[in-house]
Chains A and B, each alone.
Chain A
Amino acid sequence: MKTFPQEEKAIVRKDFHELWDSRMSRTTVLLVPLVLAVALPILFVVLINTVPASEINGADQMRKLLPEEARGYSLRQSMLYMVTNLIFPVLYLMIPLMASSVAAASSFAGERERGTLETLLLAPLGVRRIFHAKTLGCVLLSAVVTGISFLAFAVVVSVGDILLGMPFFLNWNWLVLIFFLAPAVTVFGVMFMVLVSARSKSYIESVQTSGYLVLPLVLLLIGQMAGIFRLGPLFLLLAAAVVWVADALLWVFAGRSFLKI
Chain B
Amino acid sequence: MRDGGAGGIITLQHLKAAPWKRRRFPVLKALEVIPVNGPAVCALGLGKSYNGKIFALHGLSLEVRAGEVFGYLGPNGAGKTTTVRLMTGLLRPSEGSCSVFGFSPVQKPGEVHRLCGVMTDGVRMYRQMTGMENLIFFGQIFGMREEDGKERAEDLLKRLDLWDVRDQKLSAYSTGMAQRLSLARSLMHRPKVLFLDEPTSGLDPESVQEVNSLIAGLARTEGVTVFLCTHQLRYAQDLCRRYGILEKGNLLACGALGDLARDAGLHAKASLRLKDGDAPSGFTRGTDGWWTTDILSEDEMPKLIRRAMEEGCSIYEAEIRKPTLEDVYFQYMALNGGEKP
Q: Say yes or no: B140 contacts A118, CB within 8 Å.
A: no
Cβ-defined contact, B126 with A116, below 8 A: yes
CB of A14 within 8 A of CB of B124, answer: no
Task: Report the stretch among B107-115, B207-215, B281-289, B310-318 that lies at the interface.
Answer: B107-115
Tell me whether A18 and B128 are in contact (CB under 8 A): yes
Given contacts A17-B129, A124-B110, A126-B110, contact A116 B140 (CB under 8 A): no
Pair B141/A126 contact, Cβ less than 8 Å: no
Partner of A6, one of B110, B116, B145: B145
Give 1 or 0 for each of B118-131: 1 = CB within 8 Å of chain A CB. 10001111111100
Residue in A116, A120, A124, A126 whose Cβ sees the most chain B Cβ within 10 Å: A124
B90 and A118: CB pair below 8 A?
A: yes
Kindly report which residue of chain B lies nearest to residue A119, judged by CB atoms: B123
Contact A124 B123 (CB under 8 A): no
Q: Which residue of B lies closest to A111 (CB)?
A: B126
A123 pairs with B90, CB closer than 8 A: no
A122 near B88 with CB under 8 A, answer yes
Residue B255 CB within 8 A of the other chain = no
Docked complex Cα distance between A118 and B111 (Å)? 17
Are the CB atoms of B90 and A121 closer together than 8 Å?
yes
Task: Give CA–CA (A124, B118) in the complex, Å.
Answer: 12
Asked whether A119 and B140 contact (CB < 8 A) given A17-B129, A124-B113, A124-B114, the answer is no
Interface assignment of B138: CB less than 8 Å from any CB of chain A? yes
B271 CB to closest chain A CB (Å) equals: 47
The distance in angstroms between the C-alpha atoms of A146 and B125, with both chains bound, is: 31
B111 touches A124 (CB 8 A): yes
Known contacts A7-B143, A122-B88, A122-B118; A114/B127 CB under 8 A:
yes
Chain A positions within 8 Å of B127 at CB level: 114
Q: How far, in whole Å, are A115 and B90 apart by their CA atoms in the complex?
A: 13
Q: Select from chain B the residue with minimum beta-carbon distance to A126.
A: B110
- In the complex, whether A55 has a CB less than 8 A from a CB of chain B is no
Cβ contact of B110, chosen from A10, A11, A125, cutoff 8 A: A125
Say whether, besides A18-B128, A118-B123, A123-B113, A6 and B140 are in contact (CB < 8 Å). yes
Bound-state Cα–Cα, A17 to B88, Å: 28
Chain A 1-39 interface 0/1 with B at a Cβ cutoff of 8 Å (1 = within): 000001100110010011001000000000000000000
Chain A residues in 8 Å Cβ range of B111: 124
B residues at A contact (CB < 8 Å): 26, 88, 90, 109-111, 113-114, 116, 118, 122-129, 137-138, 140-143, 145-146, 185
Mark A residues whose CB is within 8 Å of B.
6-7, 10-11, 14, 17-18, 21, 114-116, 118-127
Question: What are 22 inter-chain pairs, A to B, with CB distance below 8 A?
Answer: A7-B143, A17-B128, A18-B128, A21-B128, A115-B122, A118-B90, A118-B124, A119-B123, A119-B124, A119-B185, A121-B90, A122-B90, A122-B118, A122-B123, A124-B26, A124-B110, A124-B113, A124-B114, A124-B143, A125-B141, A125-B143, A127-B109
